Structure 1
């Protein structure tokens, strides 16, 4: 009885606390159910092996997109390509700038923003530097020059589609990723009317169907051919394989290598082949259907300029390309092929084989190089680089030469001038 009283006293003393007694003389026979750890796409996304290089690239790209959004808003103003700093607080949320005050955001990037005093209103304003504007113009010129590449990308996407049609809304969402001009509907689709035909206001198809299908090959086929010739691998090992590149620190469970080898050898309907009805109930039907979806997403990412795209925008291609699966779960199931970065307010998927260990493209293109220059200007921050120092030295030399010429022209024969500021 004394022992029971002591237990009751301890229980009454702890009754005020939030946590109850786990075990005691009155509940020792109660069965406790232990929940299994959840294995969902969200938990796998949180517990995945991180790639710090690609995460850092995602954060930098997000900051650059905020600045480009602000540039579009400022350029569209009728008064001129400048904004008063007082009214910037109203314009910044429209561009997505919410983490920093508008003034601090401008002071953070002096190589992009230039602060000046308005000559008429005498208030402080800002505008974009000529160097930054020149880089944006250079990217636009590159996109216009590579118009034929955009035509080829649209053809490949149409050949991958189930019915040979695509919605323009889906293409418009990844226009920047594919390197299309802003008015690609008029400048590309309607211009090349011998290649494309508008079925509806927002649906496009090939003018002549399946004429180029035998000549189209996926990007991964070049890698397979290289592996077959250089590494002397058998066709059985390479014909349906994908390049695998796991991030540093990736843990492989028991039997993982055998499952991966079996998946690499498994056949599937390739992206540019005519889709046949896949019997899901047959042996490996679900796996073959998912592997075809992996091949389509792999080819779609290969067609982009920077080999990356937002995950939520891939969902708009599910019906047209025949990948009606949980896309995020599919990407997480193949960490050696894709990588999802969650830095910022959106999830970006990268093609792992396209990036080196330094976070740069292995095979850069002209549009990527132009965008990389914009990113380098952003990463300068408030640092005073040698390039800017050279520009200032040239400007100072020019001003000195102009002053010397003015002094020589103002001097008359017989005048005596004492150079007071010569040593200053």
Structure 2
């Protein structure tokens, strides 16, 4: 019987064959499939893959993380304000942690922001409680006062939104979802609408309608920028008549031929946001997309912070005749819009209005909200002596208040 010698080459060939035979699927190579070619799979090109592979703006992403913490703080403050005495126990707040959207313990979250929350030992119940600091309470009252003072601007924004829609109507639920973005008070339905019945009226409990169109307001924000570019930079009218400001994020790779395509797109005519195209319907896909870009640009320009969550933006698709995939459209124009996935939601930001994470042209409501954000950014820095508990002196005697101050939690 002939003996078999296993050299290193034979052992390698034997291991390859055993690996083929021991596979879970069919034979990769054999007499029946040796002529079959392996097909190359084309990479999937979808809105999700483009969103993951986009050039990120780290400053805007960082801002969205900070705003998320502010939203959580305001949500906790709302829960505390619903209590009868203006404070809530930490144990009770921990039960509502998931409703607020926190992924950390409520105690750790409260201690991170001592400029907003004050934790103390209750003098009678002997448990840890939390209330809002005077700094934060003053800023919340200031924001409400500023919104009331700028009621005329708020009504103007509502009228322009209604003029953007196809038939001059908007759904009240969609407006309720973006009330903070538009600078509306929570009670705008009872405080603003009845006083401006000559401009706005409730066609039904769920529909807000425009009484009459105001042509003086039918000027988009982008038109002001174009006029400034045309007069100050002495550019040709063909280059500025239909152009948009382009501001790519740092590190954006410009492919060959991209500049020429962008230049042609900037010169492409389109129906402007406040113009009606019922008599001249658009059949060109690029012109239709450019019209939707103009509507989205104007909608973001009407917001207080020039940003809006993508999910809430989709509620205006039918009213503004934007029957397209908004996420795919926004990703096609990274020099105009930026979608941030930070902050537990996808948020659309108007790039031209921000510089180094701050709004270039602030407004009174934004200024107050920026002060609130500064309290978040301060963290535990510059924390002085705990605020006195004089707010309980009317309910408890001096001895109890003195004991309260001695047992405060830092």
Quick one: distance in 1 between partners of 2:217 and 2:365? Answer: 26
Alpha carbons of 1:352 and 1:23: their partners in 2 closer, same or farther (altered >3 Å)?
Answer: farther
Q: CA deviation at 1:66?
A: 0.7
CA-CA distance at 1:145 after TM superposition? 0.6
Matched with 1:340 is 339
Matches within 5 A, 1:88-127: 88-97=93-102, 99-127=103-131
Distance 1:21 1:267 in 2: 59
| Structure 1 residues 338 and 9: CA distance shift in structure 2, 3 A | closer
Instruction: In structure 2, list runs of 5 or more residues that go unmatched.
Output: 388-410
Point out where structure 1 has 5 or more consecutive residues left out of the alignment: 393-424
User: Which residue of 1 is the match for residue 402 of structure 2?
Assistant: none
Q: 1:196 aligns with which of 173, 194, 200?
A: 200
Q: Which moved more, 1:256-265 or 1:111-120?
A: 111-120
String of CA shifts for 1:45-92, please: whole Å, max 9, x gaps. Answer: 0000000000000011011101101111110112x1111122221022
Distance (whole Å) between structure 2 residues aligned to residue 245 and residue 5 of structure 1 = 61
Deviation string, structure 1 residues 94-140 (Cα, Å, up to 9, x no partner): 2221x111111111111111111212212221111111111111111
Which structure has more relative contact order (CA 8 Å, sep 6+)? It is: 2
Matched, 1:43 2:49: yes
Give me the CA root mean square deviation.
2.4
Change in 2 beyond 3 A, CA 1:192/1:14: same
SS of 2:348's equivalent in the other structure is strand
Q: Secondary structure at the match of 1:198?
A: strand
- How many residues are paired up? 381
Deviations 1:323-352 (A, max 9, x none): 111111110000000000001321001000
Question: Residue 159 of structure 1 contacts residue 213 of structure 1 at CA under 8 Å; is this kept in 2?
Answer: no
Measured against aligned partners, the alpha-carbon deviations of 1:292-347 in whole angstroms (never above 9, x if no partner) come to 11000100000000000000111100111111111111100000000000013210
TM-score normalized with structure 2 length: 0.87
Q: How many angstroms apart in 2 are the aligned matches of 1:160 and 1:330?
A: 19
Q: Distance in 2 between matches of 1:120 and 1:182?
A: 35
Structure 1 segments (4+ residues) deviating >4 Å:
1-9, 13-28, 277-281
CA contact (8 A) 2:67 2:343 kept: no
TM-score for both structures, normalised by structure 1: 0.85
CA contact (8 A) 1:167 1:202 kept: yes
CA distance in 1: counterparts of 2:250 and 2:15, whole angstroms: 55
**What corresponds to 2:367 in structure 1?**
369
**CA distance in 1 between partners of 2:199 and 2:261 (Å):** 43
Check the 8 A contact 1:11/1:21 in 2, yes or no. Answer: no
Query: What is the correspondence of 1:5-404 to structure 2 with a 5 Å cutoff?
Result: 7=13, 10-13=16-19, 15-16=21-22, 27-78=33-84, 80-97=85-102, 99-208=103-212, 210=213, 212-276=214-278, 279=281, 281=283, 285-356=284-355, 358-384=356-382, 388=384
Any idea what SS the aligned residue of 1:229 has?
helix
Instruction: Provide the C-alpha distance between the structure 2 equivalents of 1:30 and 1:278, rounded to a whole number of angstroms.
Output: 55
Partner of 2:400: none
1:23, CA displacement in angstroms? 5.8
- Contact in 1 for aligned 2:160/2:217 (Cα 8 Å): no
Contact 1:278–1:289 (CA<8 Å) still a contact in 2? no
Provide the rounded CA distance (Å) in 1 between the counterparts of 2:341 and 2:24: 35
Determine helix, strand or coil for the equivalent of 2:291: helix
Return closer, same or farther for 1:360/1:6 CA change in 2, 3 Å cut-off. closer
Q: Is the 8 A contact 1:59 1:343 kept in 2?
A: yes
- Which moved further from structure 2: 241-250 or 3-12? 3-12
